[in-house]
Structure 1
Amino acid sequence: MLDNLTQRLAKVVKTMRGEARLTEANTAEMLREVRLALLEADVALPAVREFIGKVKEKALGEEVVGSLSPGQALVGVVQRELGALMGADLGPEATQLSFAQQPPAIILMAGLQGVGKTTTVGKLAKYLREQKKKKVLTVSADVYRPAAIAQLQSVTGQAGADFFPSTAQDKPVDIALAALDWAKKHYHDVLIIDTAGRLGIDEEMMKEITAVHGAVKPIETLFVVDAMLGQDAINTAKAFNDALPLTGIVLTKLDGDSRGGAALSVRHITGKPIKFAGVSEKLDGLEAFDPTRMANRVLGMGDILALVEEARKGVDEKAAAELAAKVKAGGKFDMNDFKAQLGQMKKMGGMAGLVDKLPAQFQQAAGNANMDQAEKQVRRMVGIIDSMTPAERAKPDLIKAARKRRIAAGAGVQVQEVNRMLNQFEQMQTMMKKLQGGGLMKMMRSMKGMMPGMR
């Protein structure tokens, strides 16, 4: 998101050196770069003007303290104002969903057709079920789009939530009221209502969604917007904000667009907080939005907290404890363990997903590595292990020339690939032995060059 802004700011920081304070003269060039980057990112002009004005006001005359350069000091001002523009000034509670009503808490999802609204309902259901331990029911009030109801039923099933059936012959208000009655009788904590989208804003659509809102009185009315909409997001957001008492925004497809200006435009136009961001197509690809952390990521400061959260979600703690106990007791690290470790990394979003959350300097250090190639190599390694017999996985020492040829043929790779994977496995095995003996620092040093594509 806003990659261009990150790059421009990094360039200007290098040029602003050796001055004791920020002045109009030495900030003018950087503010120009910020303005251009925001406009290129499709941020609405009123939002850009207001943002630049605030940065200029806060920056002028600010002392450059300690080891900071003027460029770094100005980035600090930009970071604080960018966080405020994204909603940090509203306080941490503003980005949280409210459940302060008699269950079920009703969440109404609104937005244009094609923004990923139905998939977002599934993602939100999964998030609430797993992260907030809520019993969730979903229902589709979209009686116009072919297969909309079936699509919601499918994603709800994948999310492990409950689904209330509806048909294209039903009226949206009747569907919503019937689902609410069902949710009350079956003790659901949350009811999420997916409403119909349109290819454009029209009066009929707005009347219908206003009627649904009036009938069920949701505690949360979330506007779902595609981060790639650019300037079009402004008109859409204004129309929905005028028609409905919105309580928050959900940004979708944030991973697919390096501009991402809609995040800033919609927040500015509606004045409502961004509550969630869709960061991948997978059902667990929904993140609670944190304005300060997002500002840090935009400015190349990374998001280490998100990295820790990914690790916590991805790591199977029971399996990790069992492996640690096995190694400590003198058990041998085998191919089954190696495959499990590769799987854990995949759950954490793969190498590309992890690197994306690191600060800029670490991303640059990993920049020479081809992440796509590295991901493919990991998949190949798993395929090679799957081509082994149970005995070979448990005792890799059995794998000699003839077995290597058979395994390579089964995995659809060259024998050299099998040899490479066995070498990497042996390095990991050596690391585990050092861990068993308490040689943690030696193990860390030996990790260099271990992961595929990261040499």
Structure 2
Amino acid sequence: MFENLSERLERSFKLLKGQGKITEINVAETLKDVRRALLDADVNYKVAKQFTDTVKAKALGQNVLNAIQPGQLMVKIVHDELATLMGGDTAQVNLSGNPTVILMSGLQGSGKTTMSGKLAKKLKSEKSRRPLLVAGDVYRPAAIEQLKVLGQQIDVPVYTEEGNKNPVEIAENAIRYAKTNHYDLVIVDTAGRLAVDEQMMQEIAAIKKAVKPNETLFVVDSMTGQDAVNTAREFNERLDFDGVVLTKLDGDTRGGAALSIRTVVDKPIKFVGTGEKLDALDYFHPARMADRILGMGDIVSLVEKAQQQFDEKQARELQRKIAKNQFNFNDFLAQIEQIKKMGNLKDLASMIPGVGKAIKDVDIDDNAFKGIESIIKSMTAAERANPDIINASRRQRIAKGSGNSLQDVNRLLKQFEETRKLMRQANAIKSNPMKMMNAMRAMKNMRGGMR
């Protein structure tokens, strides 16, 4: 996500991060390169020019030339303006109404139907809503079946009317059904349409007028760059939607849509799709996205993702086992499962400050844990519960049973033992303030000696 743009911006700032004299000419040259980087990322030309003009005015106004660390100050100004460009504050979703009605709109193939399912799952789990999905695409039978499959996967009912080809009637009837059956959230999936298709545009406008949704969302594929922005403008002129959902932001996108769309249509990005899994939907946080574009990571989002998988009771039990040196391979396997639920591994790693650039050219497969899992699952129940009993003959059997080499098994056992040791040390320091002080002193002395 934004890897090329991040790399280009970093190169642009190298001049100002140096020790040489900073001049107004240097600032202008740097921002000229920033503008080129934005244009290469498929950002709207007027947006890119306005952005760099604003940054230049603020940079010179804050006396960057005489700052002690002009490069850092310049990065901060660019960061703040990037966040402002993408909307500033995180846009909230309007969940008023009983039921709340959300109307999904967008182009053919934009991912509207899948996004309807993802949104239902997210609001069901995070907001404790009781959602009802509505199959309003009467032109594509596969869309109805697709929505039914998604509904089964997330345990959300789907309202359909076989034989009815009037999406306005279907939507109105679905809302009445929701009220009668106490569903407090209705998500209406609609047919994909082209902005130039007058009849279809009139139809979705009629649906909106009839159901009076609390939230109308425009779903757009971020991979289409400036085409996405132009389409959003045309849809907004006809539909006056409330917010944008960007799909495929995890793909090889240059980021132009995310950076341009707010300025062009004056509507916030509310959600971003970050993968194919049904839980790969995030709220859009402009400041956090600016952090990621500038290579600062996004540790807040990483913590939030971890908390979503966090089981307080399980965590207390895990801490007790660590304290008593009882952490075993069953616990290890459970932790791997929680990490896998958090999302794409490379995307998660890139949220850690400084890691994104380091792993730019590293391929981190989502099946990275497959070898470890196969080794653990080839152990007997007794071996998983008590790793200390795994002797040489058991290691040979585990290697053969898992399809891995003996070296792989030995490496995992060694890493596991080192992990247990670190856990015990961390737990001891946490429970003993004096040990924590001693550890800090040791770190200080070590730093002082490494000159």
Deviation of residue 352 (structure 1)? 2.0
> Which of residues 267, 281, 289 is equivalent to 2:276?
281
More moved, 123-132 vs 391-400: 391-400
More moved, 411-420 vs 64-73: 64-73
Measure the CA separation in 2 of the matches of 1:168 and 1:226. 31
What do the CA deviations read for 1:139-178 (whole angstroms, capped 9, x no partner)?
1111122411111122233233332133364311111011
Match status 1:184 vs 2:179 = yes
TM-score, structure 1 as length reference: 0.88
Measure the CA separation in 2 of the matches of 1:162 and 1:22. 63
> Which of residues 395, 408, 411 is equivalent to 2:402?
411
Query: Aligned pair in 2 of structure 1 residues 420, 185: CA closer, same or farther (>3 Å)?
Result: same
Residue 251 (structure 1) aligns with: 246
Residue 82 (structure 1) aligns with: 82
Residue 354 (structure 1) aligns with: 348
Please provide the CA RMSD for this pair: 2.6
Match status 1:163 vs 2:158 = yes
TM-score, structure 2 as length reference: 0.89
Query: Aligned pair in 2 of structure 1 residues 411, 308: CA closer, same or farther (>3 Å)?
Result: same
Measure the CA separation in 2 of the matches of 1:154 and 1:22. 61
Match status 1:234 vs 2:229 = yes
Q: Is the 8 A contact 2:195 2:201 kept in 1?
A: no
Match status 1:337 vs 2:331 = yes
Query: Aligned pair in 2 of structure 1 residues 131, 331: CA closer, same or farther (>3 Å)?
Result: same
Write the mapping of 1:393-432 to structure 2, written as runs, cut at 5 A. 393-432=384-423
Residue 114 (structure 1) aligns with: 109
Report the count of equivalent residues: 434
Measure the CA separation in 2 of the matches of 1:140 and 1:283. 18
Query: Which amino acid in structure 2 is aligned with residue 87 of structure 1?
Result: G
Residue 374 (structure 2) aligns with: 383
> Which of residues 77, 95, 98 is equivalent to 1:99?
95
Measure the CA separation in 1 of the matches of 2:419 and 2:15. 44
Query: Aligned pair in 2 of structure 1 residues 350, 192: CA closer, same or farther (>3 Å)?
Result: closer
Query: Aligned pair in 2 of structure 1 residues 443, 326: CA closer, same or farther (>3 Å)?
Result: farther
Q: Is the 8 A contact 2:291 2:298 kept in 1?
A: yes
Match status 1:27 vs 2:27 = yes
> Which of residues 197, 213, 220 is equivalent to 1:225?
220
Q: Unpaired runs of 5+ in structure 1?
A: 445-455
Query: Which amino acid in structure 1 is aligned with residue 310 of structure 2?
Result: V
Q: Is the 8 A contact 2:246 2:258 kept in 1?
A: yes
What do the CA deviations read for 1:311-339 (whole angstroms, capped 9, x no partner)?
211333221111112333x2522211121
Measure the CA separation in 1 of the matches of 2:360 and 2:178. 52
SS at the partner of 2:275?
Answer: coil
Residue 449 (structure 1) aligns with: none
Measure the CA separation in 2 of the matches of 1:10 and 1:337. 41
Deviation of residue 18 (structure 1)? 4.9
Q: Is the 8 A contact 2:216 2:242 kept in 1?
A: yes
Query: Aligned pair in 2 of structure 1 residues 352, 153: CA closer, same or farther (>3 Å)?
Result: same
What do the CA deviations read for 1:96-141 (whole angstroms, capped 9, x no partner)?
111233x011100100111111111111111111111211111111
Q: Is the 8 A contact 1:22 1:62 kept in 2?
A: no
Query: Which amino acid in structure 2 is aligned with residue 431 of structure 1?
Result: L
Identity of aligned residues (%): 48
SS at the partner of 1:139?
Answer: strand
Q: Is the 8 A contact 2:64 2:74 kept in 1?
A: no
Deviation of residue 62 (structure 1)? 2.0
Query: Aligned pair in 2 of structure 1 residues 234, 119: CA closer, same or farther (>3 Å)?
Result: same
Match status 1:41 vs 2:37 = no
Measure the CA separation in 2 of the matches of 1:18 and 1:415. 52
SS at the partner of 2:308?
Answer: helix
More moved, 51-60 vs 217-226: 51-60
Q: Is the 8 A contact 2:297 2:355 kept in 1?
A: no
What do the CA deviations read for 1:227-259 (whole angstroms, capped 9, x no partner)?
111121133112211110210001110010241
Query: Which amino acid in structure 2 is aligned with residue 324 of structure 1?
Result: Q
Q: Is the 8 A contact 1:277 1:288 kept in 2?
A: yes
Q: Is the 8 A contact 1:43 1:265 kept in 2?
A: yes
Query: Which amino acid in structure 2 is aligned with residue 40 of structure 1?
Result: D
Deviation of residue 261 (structure 1)? 0.6
Deviation of residue 371 (structure 1)? 5.3
SS at the partner of 1:324?
Answer: helix
Q: Is the 8 A contact 2:86 2:260 kept in 1?
A: no
Q: Is the 8 A contact 2:105 2:190 kept in 1?
A: yes
Match status 1:372 vs 2:374 = no
SS at the partner of 2:133?
Answer: strand
Q: Is the 8 A contact 1:20 1:64 kept in 2?
A: no
Measure the CA separation in 2 of the matches of 1:106 and 1:241. 19
SS at the partner of 2:223?
Answer: coil
Query: Aligned pair in 2 of structure 1 residues 99, 377: CA closer, same or farther (>3 Å)?
Result: closer
Deviation of residue 191 (structure 1)? 0.6
Query: Aligned pair in 2 of structure 1 residues 376, 158: CA closer, same or farther (>3 Å)?
Result: closer
